[in-house]
Amino acid sequence: MRQNNLSAYHCDMPYPEIRVLEKNPYYASLLMADYAGFVSEMSATNQYYYHSVVLEDVDQEIANMLRNISFVEMRHFHILAKVILLLGGDPIFYADTNYWNGDYVYYGNNILSQLEADLQAEFDAIENYQKNIELIDDPFVKNILRRIILDEEVHVRLFEKAIEKVKLMQNPPETLTDIIKETFPQN
Ligand SMILES: [Fe+2]
Ligand SMILES: [Fe+2]
């Protein structure tokens, strides 16, 4: 596979050093949900990767974007695995009494519903990270989670743009009046 430049798919701030204040298995257990729970880096990596493969012939540009975002999620996955280890946990693919399962992925069968599910996954991920930032009293872990959220916010914007593109392609404006309405919806 051609080497991809991922810089357009994550925030350009560097990631903080992967370290923790001290071992804390409870914090590790909280992070297991972000790592391999229903809404998790594991689910996002696999969901976006699946969408990138099945959308290759539908929209090459969007498929490429999805594959690159999937690689960024895999980086988050790796960071969480390391943090869980440092906290004294074991980064197996398990959270909330269940092993990670392929039915956590929204597969879908059309580009719009797939992208909308991907956008929702980002909102859900951000919400879960924010909850854990509140619960985890470790400045190093908090910083790592805050940094991951910055990438998820880039993904929100990318998915929103992709959805806009698909909607315009599926329902192209026919007249100049339509185009003006798209550009200035308040008029
Ligand atoms: Fe992520
Ligand atoms: Fe993301």
Structure confidence by residue, pLDDT tens digits, 99-137: 999 999 999 999 999 999 999 999 999 999 999 999 999
* Residue for token pair 């540009």: 61
Using an 8 Å Cβ cutoff, are 133 and 83 in contact?
no
CB 106 within 8 Å of CB 117:
yes
Q: Where are the domains of the chain?
A: 18-183
- Which ligand neighbours the alpha carbon of 155 most closely? 2
Cα–Cα distance for residue pair 147/4, rounded to 1 Å: 22
Architecture of domain 18-183: Up-down Bundle (1.20)
Confidence of residue 1 (pLDDT cuts 50, 70, 90): very low
- φ/ψ (deg, to 5) at 98: -135, 145
Other Cβ atoms within 10 Å of 19 Cβ, number:
14
pLDDT band at 187 (very low <50, low <70, confident <90, very high): low
pLDDT, mean over the chain: 95
Ion ligand 1 contact residues with beta carbon within 5 A: 41, 73, 76
pLDDT of residue 4: 67
Radius of gyration of the chain (CA): 18
- C-alpha 62/C-alpha 139 separation (Å) is 36
Instruction: Kindly report, residue by residue over 16-57, the tens digit of the pLDDT.
Output: 999 999 999 999 999 999 999 999 999 999 999 999 999 999
Q: How far is the CA of 73 from the centre of ligand 2 (A)?
A: 6
pTM of the entire predicted model = 0.90
Nearest-angstrom CA–CA distance, 130 and 142: 9
CA of 183 to the centre of ligand 1 (A): 32
